[in-house]
A and B are shown apart, each in its own frame.
Chain A
Amino acid sequence: MSLKERLEELRQQGLDEIKKSEDLDHVNDVRVKFLGKKGPLTTILRGMKDLSAEERPKVGKFANEIRDELKVAVEEKRQQLEKAVLDAKLVAETVDVTLPGTPVAQGQPHVLQQIIDQLEDLFIGMGYEVAVGDEVEQEVYNFEKLNLPKDHPARDMQDTFYVTPSILMRTQTSPMQARMLEKHDFSKGPLKMISPGKVYRRDTDDATHSHQFHQVEGIVVGEHVTMADLKGTLETVAQNLFGDQLKVRLRPSYFPFTEPSVEADITCFNCLGAGCSICKGTGWIEVLGAGMVHPNVLEMSGVDPEVYGGFAFGLGPDRFAMLKYGVEDIRDFYQNDVRFLTQFDQKG
């Protein structure tokens, strides 16, 4: 058998054995057997010195080709077997992907907080500052500085929890308006602020009344603030909270701290004005009270009403949440049933 034939035979044997291999160990054995230092190819290559100068390169070349071919075959086989092993392992690791995921702990902000946060973000974006006041207030700030003198019939509109004749649970967050008006330096521009927080009324709790609820009151006072600005601001709030197409309409009303005073209705977000059960067929929903700050309020806080003026408004997050989400009982907000709280977990 010529050397060439011998090589050809080795090649065939090697390829056959590689092909037959069924596990990685065997592939390794084949590799050692044919390509190892003591293997036949090495032996043949060592024996090349006995060949003629003419034959030597030919045989050498052929032997190297065979060695490379076997190396490639071994490597391919090895990869093939490794993949099979891995595939089998992965199959064995299969899970039922329809099993429920492991619950994670995540807390939600209260729905009223979400409304307040949304309003805060909106007003901050329009250049308002946020002022938070005390919940136990002086009668003077809660009423008198807001143009609600003692024995004014409008005080009947707000039944009050008194602590002493001069101290009470605030019935509105507007006391902060008086305090901020007193402090504000108008030479640095207008005062634009909102005041969110808890307020209290002496009321019996039922589905639509609560002795505790929330308000976000706002005030803008400067040299050139108009009622048209109030209308535009309220429209922005309504659209931000309830939807783009909504309009605001104003109706005359009465609050001692504003003159003119208005009640603001928005287009019913449910029927867009067509009339439905939510708006009682009117196409409008009453959402808030507002008006132009009463000159007495300005004067009592040391602001010249001849120079400065502006508007104020009071928003009710509880009412907004009830309207927006169809919550039927205001007590739901303060009983904190986890099943209620976690309904409002949509982000963004």
Chain B
Amino acid sequence: MKVSYQWLNHYLPLEENGINPTELAEKIARSSVDINDVYSPQNGLKKVVVGLVESVRDHPQADHLHIAQVKIADDTTVQIVCGAPNLKAGKKVITALKGAKLADGTKIRKSKLRGEESNGMLCALQEIGFTDKVAPKAYEEGLWYLPDDAKVGAPVFSYLGMDDTIIDTDVTPNRGDMLSIYGNVNDLAAIYDLKNSFTSHAVVENSSEKTADLISATVEDQDVAPTYKMRVIKNVQIQDSPLWLQIRLWNAGIRPINNVVDVTNYILIKYGQPLHSFDYDKLANHEIKVRHAKEGEKFTTLDGEEQQLKTQDILVCDGERPAALAGTMGGEETKVTDQTVNVALEAAIFDPVMVRKQARRLDLHSESSMRFERGINPETVEVALNEAAYWLSELAGGEVTKGIVTATEAPANSTPIELSTSKVNAVLGLTLSQEDLVEIFDRLKFDVQKEHDDQLTVYAPARRWDISIKADLYEEIARIYGYDNIPSTLPAGTRTLGGLNERQRFLKASRHVMQGVGLNQAISYSLLTKEQAAQFQVNNQDGEPMMLDYPMSSDHVATRMNIVAGLLIDIAYNVARQVGNVALYEQGRVFLPEDGQERPTEEEHVAGAVTGSLTAASWNQEDDDNQADFFTVKGIVERYLHNMAVEGEISYQANHNRADLHPGRCADVLLDGQVVGYIGQVHPTVAKQYRVPVTYVFELNLEPLLSADKRDKHYDLISKYPAITRDVAISVDQDVTNAQIVAVIKEIGGSYLKAVRLFDLYKGNFLPANKKSMAYTLTYQDGQGTLTEDQVNAAFEKVVEHLKQEVGAEIR
């Protein structure tokens, strides 16, 4: 809310106590609500003064220009060329002198316009910083006339309220009371402990007619409009409001329109009580009924838009005919116009939720709807209505009819809350006495009753409808006492043992291993397109992702069922920016919807993607040696699984059927026969879709790894006896796998066989087309003694024989 310092100062001795606007804003931020901005409308303007137009003649060279002689000081008159249509001799206008600075930064210089000298500029309000939204419509196209008694040559700012300072507050949803001058004055009086001279004007019912004879009002359901009151003011003269009132409005960001509308807006700002004015004569029935709309009912709001209504919307009707969308916007047909003579004035409280919903749905947020949404002070509904009537009588010559028509009236009760001093101190960490508390509530003007030494009953007034429980009072105490005065301590008492649990430790270690093998941690978006979300799944490759009901962007509509897709998007981003070596991993959630489950199962996965090489190219290495391939990624997965100490048998099985991966370069990763992940090259077709070059990926479901038994750390004696090695090179059919050969060797290798290592794989010219040569080093060692040649030879021969028999090996 744009709060005027001058207006506040009218009710509170701020200046008198040396409280300047900046300090005041700081105090509000520290004690009440946040501040968006503090500014004075005159900021940035210079040499803009009151000028008296002494004479006007047409410009000889230009149809739309005029030449004015403008008096800018008692003894100085200058010539200014001006194009405004409403330039008139005898008017005092806003004059930017030579050297002046305007709102958009323009500097005014002496110039010649079509041959005529011009020594300044006559200004419209917009040129000195008024927005189009606020500047009165009547002067939209031309000059603003200053009051006749304005002093020639004096700066214009004080005449336009531009020397005020505006404190733009950012009111949290709970502090609806701070959306009024009344609320601000009350709060500041408490915060600074100042005398509060807020005044209301009492109405004089100067018409002989009775309101009840002119209009009736009923509310179908009291929940919809807990308070609904009306007054009628007859024979108003619609005209511009006096300048002081216009200033109040435009400094609050509201455009002055005419005296009737302006009075309702003035009351809105002063009390936070939205009012609606109907043209009484356009109400055919004069029977006001507040009811829910019918589904599909149509209503044209005063902005000329036809609204489609729903049953939850609230309508204020004249008989059956809708006249206003309650608390949100009035109707086109019954609005106050220049021709209006009699006014029916509504002051009400509408249900906040209903107003919020209809304003939101129809996108009709307004100063009024915002206040209804955040609550209305029941204490001041009638006060505000009466003061509005007072001003209509004062400013528009209206005759206020006798009495208020009341359909409903919510009680303005204060809420008793019991408060224990010791509990206050226990919550806030303070040592306040009961007297301290009483003093704070006195400042807030909350009634207090002492029950006993520790106990108070505090009566939160109706104007502070945000306060209903003890905790609300703790907040009042804290902010009035001052948050700065609260000490800084740490929770005392029972020592608690902090730490990560087993699962969290595993997940943390998992990340460390991935970093250790050279992958950078990525954090990608979990929301993807439907297709991306469903690709690269570890287990159920046909699973459909969970879809958002109302997504924001077409790129993020489904929750991911894999992590690889996000990494490919990352790789594409890098590659498009000439980063060719990308090695990433990501660990996080995937979301797997399951039948009969409200929420998807969330699994923790880790995935990696590598394109180019793991390390930067180097002068001492061949680039080709460095390029990542299937085995780079497999090496990472092997190392990872080893480090994560999962007990159980890990195996890798070719899988030709994963649609998103290269059919010949893809392996399932199995733990004790269960698929827990995969390794592979991204299928070229998919790589093209993602705009990535050759990329190798893996993804592991961490849940089975988390729940698997782990190898404990333990110590094996390192044999002090020498190891003996034997090499064997065999030629086998192409389709015999390494796994088969190693299985044979290990099966028959005997107890001294400690390790089998493939050291060469050869396919090519020196072998028949369907053959390959594989060479292994077998290492034998005994922990108890030195092995003899005979022992090793015997074991080795056995291996060789079995290789011949079982995989058709020829020894080379």
Q: Which residues of A contact B (CB under 8 A)?
A: 99-100, 102-110, 112-113, 117, 120, 123-130, 132, 134-138, 151-154, 156-157, 161-164, 166-167, 169, 189-190, 192, 198, 200, 202-205, 211-212, 220, 222-229, 231-233, 235-236, 248-254, 259-263, 292, 294-295, 309, 333-339, 341-342
Chain B residues positioned under 8 Å from A251 (CB to CB): 29-30, 34, 483
- 20 new A-B pairs (CB below 8 Å) besides A117-B508, A292-B427, A295-B470? A102-B618, A102-B621, A105-B583, A106-B516, A110-B523, A124-B498, A156-B360, A189-B495, A189-B496, A192-B498, A198-B589, A202-B552, A211-B553, A226-B429, A227-B427, A252-B31, A259-B471, A259-B474, A334-B524, A337-B573
Is B353 a contact partner of A138 (Cβ separation < 8 A)?
no
Binds A, one of B484-492, B678-686, B703-711: B484-492
B430 within 8 A of A: yes
In whole angstroms, how far apart are the Cα atoms of A225 and B427 in the complex?
7
Contact A163 B517 (CB under 8 A): no
Cβ–Cβ contact A226 & B428, under 8 A: yes
Looking at the complex, which of B217-225, B597-605, B798-806 is the stretch in contact with chain A? Answer: B597-605
Please measure, in the bound complex, the distance between the C-alpha atom of A254 and the C-alpha atom of B472, giving whole angstroms: 11
Docked CA distance A252–B171 (Å): 11
Min CB distance, B420 to chain A, in Å?
10
A37 to chain B, nearest CB (A): 38
Contact check, A100 vs B518: say whether CB atoms are below 8 A apart. no
Residue numbers in B under 8 Å from A157 (CB-CB)? 173
In angstroms, Cα B488 to Cα A235, docked, is 8
The yes or no answer to B559 lying at the interface (CB within 8 A) is yes
Stretch touching chain A among B204-212, B397-405, B543-551, B739-747: B543-551
Question: Bound state CA distance, A163 and B581, in angstroms?
Answer: 38
B516 contacts across to A, CB distance below 8 A: 106-107
> Are A125 and B427 interface neighbours, CB within 8 A?
no
B486, A127: Cβ atoms closer than 8 Å: no
A337 contacts B470, CB within 8 Å? no
Q: By the criterion CB–CB under 8 Å, are A211 and B552 in contact?
A: yes
Contact A135 B526 (CB under 8 A): yes
Q: Given known contacts A232-B488, A260-B475, is B496 in contact with A153 (CB within 8 Å)?
A: no
Cβ contact within 8 Å between B489 and A226: yes
Q: Assuming A110-B523, A161-B551, is B579 touching A335 (CB within 8 A)?
A: no
* Known contacts A107-B515, A233-B490, A337-B579, A252 near B33 by CB under 8 Å: yes
Using Cβ atoms and an 8 Å threshold, which residues of chain A touch B548?
161-163, 169
Cross-chain contact B493 with A154 (CB below 8 angstroms): no
Report which residue of B34, B173, B618 has the largest number of chain A beta carbons within 10 angstroms of its beta carbon: B173
Known contacts A151-B357, A190-B494, A227-B428: does B523 contact A334 (CB below 8 Å)?
A: yes
* A134 contacts B488, C-beta separation under 8 Å: no
Would you call A249 and B498 a contact (CB within 8 A)? no
Set of chain A residues within 8 Å of B498, measured between Cβ atoms: 123-129, 192
Contact residues in B for A341 (Cβ distance below 8 Å): 520-522
Establish whether residues A107 and B517, one from each chain, have CB atoms under 8 Å apart when the complex forms: yes
For the complex formed, measure the closest distance between the CB of A29 and the CB atoms of chain B, giving whole angstroms.
39
Instruction: Supply 19 A–B pairs (Cβ within 8 Å), ascending by A.
Output: A103-B615, A110-B522, A113-B511, A117-B508, A124-B499, A134-B602, A137-B599, A163-B547, A167-B598, A192-B491, A204-B553, A211-B527, A226-B429, A228-B429, A249-B483, A254-B175, A259-B472, A295-B471, A336-B524
Task: Give the contacting residue for A109; candidates B493, B496, B521, B598; CB below 8 A.
Answer: B521
- Whether B34 and A263, one on each chain, are in contact in the complex, defined by CB atoms closer than 8 angstroms, is yes
Q: B591: nearest residue on chain A (CB-CB)? A: A136
Residue among A110, A126, A192, A203 with max Cβ neighbours from chain B (10 Å): A110
B17 within 8 A of partner (CB):
no
Checking B30, B483, B615 against A105 with a beta-carbon cut-off of 8 angstroms, the contacting residue is B615
- B769 proximal to A (CB < 8 A): no
Does chain A have a CB within 8 A of B509?
Answer: no
Contact indicator A166/B522 (Cβ below 8 Å): no
Q: Would you give the shortest CB distance from B267 to chain A, in whole angstroms?
A: 23
Give CA–CA (A162, B519) in the complex, Å: 34
Decide: A227 near B546, CB < 8 A? Known: A136-B591, A138-B598: no
A106→B494 CA distance, assembly (Å): 42
Q: A211-B556, A220-B491, A254-B174 are in contact. Are A260 and B356 (CB under 8 A)?
A: no
Contact B430–A259 (Cβ < 8 Å): no
Q: Is B619 an interface residue (CB 8 A)?
A: yes
User: In the complex, what distance in Å separates the CA atom of A169 from the CA atom of B545?
Assistant: 14
8 closest A-B pairs by CB:
A228-B429, A105-B518, A226-B429, A260-B475, A254-B172, A107-B515, A189-B494, A232-B488
CB of A137 to closest CB in B, whole Å: 8
Question: Which of A136, A212, A225, A337 interacts with B602 by CB under 8 Å?
Answer: A136
* Binary interface encoding of chain B residues 414-457 relative to chain A, with 1 for a CB under 8 A from any of its CBs, else 0: 00000000000011111000000000000000000000000000
How distant is A132 from chain B, measured CB to nearest CB, in Å? 7
Choose among A163, A189, A232 the residue that contacts B549 (Cβ–Cβ < 8 A).
Answer: A163
Contact B518 A129 (CB under 8 A): no
Q: Judging by beta carbons under 8 Å apart, are B496 and A128 in contact?
A: yes
Separation of A211 and B556 alpha carbons in the complex (Å): 9
> Is B478 within 8 A of A260, CB to CB?
yes
> Judging by beta carbons under 8 Å apart, are B493 and A190 in contact?
yes
B579 in complex: contacting residue of A99, A156, A339, CB < 8 Å: A339
Q: With an 8 A cutoff between CB atoms, is B689 at the interface?
A: no
Looking across the interface, which residue of chain B has its beta carbon closest to that of A137? B599
Tell me if A262 and B483 are in contact (CB < 8 A). Answer: yes
A228 engages B495 (CB within 8 Å): no
Given known pairs A100-B619, A253-B172, the reply for A336 and B573 (CB within 8 Å) is yes
Contact with A along B173-217 (1 / 0, CB 8 A): 111000000000000000000000000000000000000000000
Given contacts A226-B429, A260-B478, contact A166 B518 (CB under 8 A): no
Cβ contacts under 8 Å, B373 to chain A = 153
Chain B minimum-CB-distance residue to A236: B490
Q: Are B504's CB and A336's CB within 8 A?
A: no
A227 and B31 form a contact (CB under 8 A): no
Chain A proximity of B481: nearest CB distance (Å): 11
Q: How far is the CB of A197 from chain B (nearest CB, A)?
A: 9
Q: Are B523 and A113 within 8 A (Cβ)?
A: yes
Residue of A nearest to B523 (CB): A110
Contact of B523 among A164, A254, A333 (CB under 8 A): A333
Which of B470, B475, B598 has the most chain A CB atoms inside 10 A of its CB? Answer: B475
In the bound complex, residues from chain A placing their C-beta under 8 Å from that of B31 are 252
Q: Complex formed: what's the CA distance from A149 to B495 in Å?
A: 35
A253 and B34 contact, CB distance less than 8 A: yes
Q: Which residues of B contact A211 (CB under 8 A)?
A: 525, 527, 552-553, 556
A residues less than 8 Å from B427 (CB atoms) = 226-227, 292, 309
Residue interface bits B495-516, CB-to-A below 8 A is 1, else 0: 1111111001000100100111
- Are A229 and B491 in contact, CB atoms less than 8 angstroms apart? yes
Min CB gap B480→A, angstroms: 10
Query: What are the residues of chain B within 8 A of A227 when measuring CB–CB?
Result: 427-429, 474, 478, 486
The answer to whether B491 and A233 touch across the interface, beta carbons within 8 angstroms, is yes
Contact of B520 among A108, A161, A200, A294 (CB under 8 A): A108
Q: Are A260 and B496 in contact (CB under 8 A)?
A: no
Interface pair B32/A252, CB less than 8 Å apart: yes
Contact B429 A335 (CB under 8 A): no
CB distance from A124 to the nearest CB of B (A): 4
Does B374 lie at the interface of the complex (its beta carbon under 8 Å from any beta carbon of A)? yes
Check if B584 is an interface residue, CB within 8 A of chain A: yes
Contact partner of A204 (CB less than 8 A), chosen from B495, B552, B579, is: B552
- Which B residues, 457 to 489, have Cβ-Cβ distances below 8 Å to chain A? 469-472, 474-475, 478-479, 483-484, 486-489
For chain B residues 362-387, which have a beta carbon within 8 Å of chain A?
373-374
CB-defined contacts of B526 to chain A, threshold 8 Å: 135, 198, 200, 212
Interface residues of B in 639-661 (CB under 8 A from A): none
A249, B490: Cα distance in complex, Å: 16
Q: Which residues of B contact A112 (CB under 8 A)?
A: 523
Contact assessment for B602 and A108 in the assembled complex, using a CB-CB cutoff below 8 Å = no
- Nearest CB on A from B427, distance (A): 6
CB within 8 A of A127: which of B429, B495, B511, B577? B495
A259 near B475: Cβ-Cβ < 8 Å: yes
- Residues of A near B30 (CB, < 8 A) are 249, 251-252
